[in-house]
Structures are given as structure tokens and as C-alpha cells.
Structure 1
Amino acid sequence: MASRGGAAREVVQTLLVALVLALVIRGFVIESFLVDGISMEPTLHDGERLLVDKLTYRWHPPQRFDIVVFRYPLDPARDFVKRVIGLPGETVEIRQGQVYVDGRPLEEPYLKQAGEDFYPPTTVPPGHVFVLGDNRPHSDDSRSGWTVPMRDIIGKAWLVYWPPAEAGLVPHP
């Protein structure tokens, strides 16, 4: 039979190991994120909680249409979630709501309404991505003149886990 002191020591050691594992997982593998606002509707909704995969982009860069969580370039204390549209070196343009990448129209079946936006042809700088919200009329995104440095991407939105009725994998066309 173990002494009371030995049992208490085992509990403390177990809690410390669990804490270290939780910190490692949160720091390098998966992180929770709260969707704040309507900029990604109808794909993601205000108040949903996501799990963000922080490992994927260690092996390959973001791909077009990935939904990413990143530090907002104009205020790095805030995190945003948007869809990758333009990759480094590509030219993005919007005419009458239609997005063009390198002169080719982009098919965007996830949009509820495209709007009548205009954005002049702009080349995405090296090491950056051009991002847009799915709810274009209500999204602060790269149309405001900023792009996202790859180093500021936290990870790829992977799973909605709250509310339970909306739980499931984040759709990526």
C-alpha cells in the first residue's frame, strides 16, 4: 500500500505531465479558435469553435481555398479566419464581383453572393497570401490593401466542434 505522500506525489507528477503535454499540443499541433463575426458565412458562423491544425504548413505552404487562421496584419494581437485566394507571385483582380487569378476567373461555389466588388490587379508578394472572406460584403480582408505573411499564419481550420449541431470537418473545395 502506498503512503499518502507517495500518492500525492504521483497525482502531482501526473498533473505536471498532463500540463506539459497540453502546452506542447497547443503550441505545436492543434489550437482552438473562436469565430468572431459573419465574414466567413455561409461556411463558418459567428460563435463557432474550431480546431486549427498547426502542423500542416510546416511541410507545405497553404493552398488556394484553404481556410486559415492568422494574426491580423494591421493588429497582430487579433486573429482572423479567411480563405486563401492568391498565392505568392500570382496577380489577383476583382471585376464586378468576379475574382480573377492570373487573368483566369476563379470558381467559388462556397459563396452565397459575390457582390459587385472591384479590386485592381495586384501581385501577391513573395512569402504572402491574399485572403478573402466568404461573406464578401461583410469581410475585412486583402481587398483593404494588405496580404498575410506566411509567418503569421497560425494554421489551417480543420474541425468545427461547437456548437454540436454544427460539428464536422471544415469544408475545403
Structure 2
Amino acid sequence: MNMEERSAADMPEKKKSQWKKHVWALTKLVTAVLIFSFVIKGFLFTNYIVYGQSMMPTINDGERIIVNKIGYEVDQPNRFDLIIFHATEDSDYIKRVIGLPGDELYYEDDILYINGEAQEEDFLDSYKEEHDNGLFTEDFTLEEMTGETEVPEGHVFVLGDNRQNSIDSRHIGFVEAEKIVGKANAAFWPPKNIRFLS
């Protein structure tokens, strides 16, 4: 057998070997992607379906949102963050952080006051324009609602953006930090409503 005949005979074996290498590389890649996706979904991010109207117009009934689960492991919630928390053993709520530990707060004439200073709540502007039945957020003090003059350490005070139709800290009291699942980052379903949340 001359050199040319030997090269031709070896070709099918070389192709098989290359094909096996490509399949093995592809299998490793797919496995790595699946493991990475599981880790991301299970430990860093998760998704929720929002039920009810308590966060309208920011988030509508039936929208799906992405929640960052790791952020509060390394940092504390900020004022006006949208958070998911365990409200009961069976249900999680999404609300907006209004009061942080040490805050004294109250509402008067539809204005939020924290530690004596008026706060802007731009996220409510569009809803307030549609609302013409008196105050959008009824007057209250923290002490009237919770019996406390300030938000305790390790807790936050939360409200729904739809102040007329929300079960929140005015009804359930403060939310313990350890019950917070994470921060709502984005809405992704339905596709026409994809957006970052703030």
C-alpha cells in the first residue's frame, strides 16, 4: 500500500474521532449552561407572577417579574425598592419599601414625611392624576398604624402603590428583613410590557 492509499484509508477514522470530540465538547457546553442556569435561577434570581391590583399602575395583575434574590444578602433594602417578602406561610407579597430602620414617618395631605422631611413619590404621579376621590393616601402616623414611633431595627415599613387597594404595613405591620425574598428588578411577561422596575 502506497502513501496515498494509506491516507485515504485513515480518513474515516479521523472523521469519526473529530466527530466524537465535537460531540463531547458540545455535551460539556450544554451541561455547563444547564448547571449555570439552575444556579442562577435557584440562588440568584427567580420569577413571580403578580396577583391582584395592589401595585398598580407600577405592576399589573398577571404580570411576571424577575426578582434578584442575592442583592440583600450583601446589602440592605433602599427606600422605595420593590420587594417580595413572605407575608404568610402560604403567600408572598410585593410592596414598596417606605420606611427603613430608625425612620419616623407619617402622611399628611397626601405627602409622605420621613424624619420630618417631605418626600417625592414620583412613581405615584400617574395614578394620582386618575384618582379624584379625595386623598390618594389617607393621613396616618406610624404610631397609629403600628404602635411604634419609628421603624424597628431589622424591619421595614411597606406600602402598595395602589394605596386605596393594598394590604400592607398599615394592616400587617412591619416586615422582618429575614422574610424578604429579594428585589423586583424587571417585568418580562407579557412581552409587550417588558421593562425595568423602579
With normalisation by structure 1, the TM-score equals: 0.82
The verdict on how the C-alpha distance between 1:162 and 1:20 changes in structure 2, with shifts beyond 3 A counting, is same
Please identify the structure whose Cα radius of gyration is greater: 2
The verdict on how the C-alpha distance between 1:154 and 1:145 changes in structure 2, with shifts beyond 3 A counting, is closer
Distance in 2 (alpha carbons) for counterparts of 1:97 and 1:43 = 18
Distance in 2 (alpha carbons) for counterparts of 1:119 and 1:137 = 17
Equivalent in the alignment of 1:128: 155
The alpha carbon displacement at 1:27 in A equals 2.8
Given candidates 153, 157, 167, the residue that maps to 2:184 is: 157
Distance in 2 (alpha carbons) for counterparts of 1:100 and 1:145 = 21
Given candidates 109, 113, 131, the residue that maps to 1:100 is: 113
The residue correspondences of 1:28-43 to structure 2 (distance < 5 A) are 28-43=43-58
The residue correspondences of 1:1-173 to structure 2 (distance < 5 A) are 21-72=36-87, 75-111=88-124, 112-113=127-128, 114-121=136-143, 122-171=149-198
The alpha carbon displacement at 1:143 in A equals 1.1
Structure with the larger strand share? 1
Contact 1:115/1:136, CA 8 A, preserved across alignment: yes
Q: Partner letter of residue 67 of structure 1?
A: L
Deviations 1:57-84 (A, max 9, x none): 1111000011011111xx2321100110
Deviations 1:90-134 (A, max 9, x none): 112122332211122221111113233323443111000110111
Contact 2:106/2:139, CA 8 A, preserved across alignment: no
Q: Partner letter of residue 110 of structure 2?
A: G
Q: Partner letter of residue 65 of structure 1?
A: F
Distance in 1 (alpha carbons) for counterparts of 2:100 and 2:138 = 23
Bigger Cα displacement from structure 2, 139-148 vs 92-101? 92-101
What 5-or-longer segments of structure 2 have no aligned partner? 1-15, 18-22, 129-135, 144-148
Q: How many residues align?
A: 165
SS in 1 for 2:54: coil
Q: Partner letter of residue 32 of structure 1?
A: N
The alpha carbon displacement at 1:17 in A equals 6.5
Distance in 1 (alpha carbons) for counterparts of 2:169 and 2:194 = 28
The alpha carbon displacement at 1:14 in A equals 8.7
Distance in 2 (alpha carbons) for counterparts of 1:51 and 1:85 = 21
Structure 1 vs Structure 2: percent identity of aligned residues? 40
SS in 1 for 2:72: helix
Q: What is the alpha-carbon root mean square deviation over aligned residues?
A: 2.4
